[in-house]
């Protein structure tokens, strides 16, 4: 694995382990769940070569970064505050923010809550959207069917399942949400009493974009951090809407880009509406759907992702 330049950045009352490389305008890359900075391993060097300084944190609760105990410490106000705190620590008044999975809502909301600090924004996998409180977190909305966001709400339950065998957990999740997995696997019916991993595939062969060395690194990170911090992000889903009520109907005005894999199951989640996103982002420069890709597009199809990013960012050097 290539050696990276890490800094422990103090921001917003915590410390974030952050890869910082390059010189120039700042690009901040935000991972999601269950990931860490390593998701962006194929994007760092092309962005640096294009003339940018790149900051890639383990977001709060992940990897080598601090993991506060309080569930409320993971709401969207704290997460977006972390982002602008990284820019402050590196001496930048503005930045470009790029996020995947949970990193995408952080990127979108940073562009809204700190509009003067964000020059452009990119979201991958998760379109910009808002939802009614309880819509994603109450079992009554899903009848007797399992819905993972509901399952994640009670502290300790998902942690116990996912941490019982970290390697198996990460192997199964990364395969089952990849473009290599059978379609509709994630949405196969199972009762609400099931566990998250029930019905997912433990593959004999790792998915496209993941090597044994990659899996080893992820396992090392999650053996260090556990899953609690990342799961606490899900436990703020409703709180995120409550503390940002002022953003209802507000448009993201910066130049923006959306990317997703053709087989990304997130696009089939309740309420995922690309047309509604376009109405809320009038300066959307593209909505790129990568053929054959699943959820992990920065790793599965890095060349396509890098081209899209550099095409957008060429005007911001």
User: What CATH number does residue 210 fall under?
Assistant: 3.40.50.1820
For the cut 90, the answer to whether the pLDDT of residue 311 exceeds it is: yes
CA distance 140 to 176: 26
The answer to whether residue 139 is domain-embedded is yes
Reference 30, options 71, 65, 4, 69; nearest CA is 65
pLDDT tens for 205-263 read: 999 999 999 999 999 999 999 999 999 999 999 999 999 999 999 999 999 999 999 99
Q: What is the number of domains present in the chain? A: 1
Structure tokens of 110? 């940073």
pLDDT band at 1 (very low <50, low <70, confident <90, very high): confident
Mean pLDDT of 266-278: 86
In this prediction, residue 2 carries a pLDDT of 87
Give the domain range for residue 56: 6-316
In this prediction, residue 271 carries a pLDDT of 76
**Which residues are tagged catalytic?**
101, 295
In this prediction, residue 101 carries a pLDDT of 98
Reference 189, options 147, 139, 149; nearest CA is 147
pLDDT tens for 177-219 read: 999 998 777 777 899 999 999 999 999 999 999 999 999 999 9
The answer to whether residue 140 is domain-embedded is yes
pTM recorded for the entire structure = 0.97
The answer to whether residue 94 is domain-embedded is yes
In this prediction, residue 189 carries a pLDDT of 82
The answer to whether residue 1 is domain-embedded is no
CA distance 80 to 110: 5
Quick one: residue 101, left, alpha or beta (phi over 0 = left, psi -120 to 50 = alpha)? left
The answer to whether residue 290 is domain-embedded is yes
pLDDT tens for 53-76 read: 999 999 999 999 999 999 999 999
Mean pLDDT of 2-23: 96
């Amino acid at each position: 694995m290539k050696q990276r330049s890490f800094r422990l950045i103090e921001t917003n009352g915590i410390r974030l382990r952050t890869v910082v490389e390059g010189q120039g305008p700042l690009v901040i890359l935000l991972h999601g769940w269950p990931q860490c900075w390593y998701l962006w391993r194929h994007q760092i060097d092309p962005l640096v070569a294009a003339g940018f300084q790149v900051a890639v944190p383990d977001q709060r609760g992940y990897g080598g970064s601090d993991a506060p105990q309080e569930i409320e410490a993971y709401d969207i106000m704290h997460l977006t505050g972390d982002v602008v705190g990284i820019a402050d620590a590196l001496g930048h008044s503005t930045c470009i923010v790029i996020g995947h999975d949970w990193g995408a809502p952080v990127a979108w909301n940073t562009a809204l809550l700190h509009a003067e600090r964000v020059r452009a924004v990119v979201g991958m996998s998760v379109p910009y959207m808002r939802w009614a409180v309880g819509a994603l977190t109450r079992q009554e909305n899903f009848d007797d069917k399992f819905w993972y966001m509901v399952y994640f709400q009670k502290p300790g339950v998902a942690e116990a399942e996912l941490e019982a065998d970290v390697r198996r957990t990460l192997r199964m999740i990364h395969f089952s949400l990849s473009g290599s997995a059978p379609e509709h696997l994630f949405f196969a019916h199972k009762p609400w009493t099931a566990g998250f991993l029930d019905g997912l595939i433990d593959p004999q062969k790792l998915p496209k974009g993941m090597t044994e060395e990659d899996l080893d690194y992820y396992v090392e990170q999650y053996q260090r951090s556990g899953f609690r911090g990342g799961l606490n992000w899900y436990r703020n889903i409703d709180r995120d809407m409550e503390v940002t009520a002022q953003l209802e109907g507000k448009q993201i005005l910066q130049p923006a880009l959306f990317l997703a894999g053709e087989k990304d199951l997130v696009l089939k989640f309740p309420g995922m509406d690309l047309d509604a996103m376009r109405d809320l982002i009038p300066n959307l420069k593209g909505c790129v759907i990568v053929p054959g890709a699943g959820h992990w597009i920065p790793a599965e199809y890095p060349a396509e992702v890098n081209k899209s990013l550099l095409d957008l960012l060429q005007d911001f050097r």
